[in-house]
Chains A and B, each alone.
Chain A
Amino acid sequence: KAGVTQTPRYLIKTRGQQVTLSCSPISGHRSVSWYQQTPGQGLQFLFEYFSETQRNKGNFPGRFSGRQFSNSRSEMNVSTLELGDSALYLCASTQGQGYGYTFGSGTRLTVV
């Protein structure tokens, strides 16, 4: 069974640019969540999608957005990049709350 796939693994962008990250969940998992990991703030929840609908959003500015497609694949977008957006972005999928969440390997974004 394929795991959660995130692409690309690494990205280097310049301040002010925008970026799109992709996540393919485990087949059959309809819930996809995104998390930001930084050394200072740790792991922080960005948003969660279920059946193409954003059900929940963390405390991040509107520059952070996402969407989910009918095949459950998800993308997140960050516009007007800032140096502080440099982080490991992790995607997780689940078939239900009690089952646990399976994480991808993440996308390492560096903003210069």
Chain B
Amino acid sequence: GDSVTQMEGPVTLSEEAFLTINCTYTATGYPSLFWYVQYPGEGLQLLLKATKADDKGSNKGFEATYRKETTSFHLEKGSVQVSDSAVYFCALSDLAVSGAGSYQLTFGKGTKLSVIP
């Protein structure tokens, strides 16, 4: 079945440091890839996405490139801020085994990022 593996952290960085969170995936089909962010006590917010190989998703200074050859979708940001402190989830969306045109998200376990001033 499909799976997503991401570094679990926690990751602690100083403000303005460079961020990389690694994510690799296994999928039976040709999935779309996502990064979601979760702030304490809240649901998930879509950070960025990519739907085909070599696509680069970007938002709020975060970037990730869909690498089919290495089955990876690493999240990067050049200069983190205290407000970026949150849990980050890598996810893929693939056609369900049951078919019927249904897609489901498969998530990694999440990486908790803390940014200190």
Contacts and interface: CB of A to CB of B under 8 A. Distances in A.
Interface of A: 4, 6, 33, 35, 42-43, 45, 48, 50, 55-58, 90, 92, 97-98, 100-106
Interface stretch (B9-17, B75-83, B103-111): B103-111
Nearest to B91: A43
A36 to B, nearest CB: 11
Dominant SS at the B interface?
A: strand
A4 B109 CA distance: 23
B70 interface: no
Given A97-B93, A98-B32, A92 B100 contact: no
B105 to A, nearest CB: 6
Contacts of A58: 104
Interface in B38-92: 42-46, 49, 51, 89
Given A33-B104, A50-B101, A55 B51 contact: no
Dominant SS at the A interface?
A: strand
B96 interface: yes
Interface residues of B toward A: which range?
20 to 34
7 contacts: A43-B107, A45-B104, A56-B104, A58-B104, A90-B43, A97-B32, A104-B43
Top 7 nearest A-B pairs by Cβ distance?
A55-B102, A56-B102, A43-B107, A103-B43, A103-B44, A55-B100, A56-B96
B96 A33 contact: no
A10 to B, nearest CB: 10
B44 A48 contact: no
Nearest to A94: B103
Nearest to A106: B43
B100 A101 contact: no
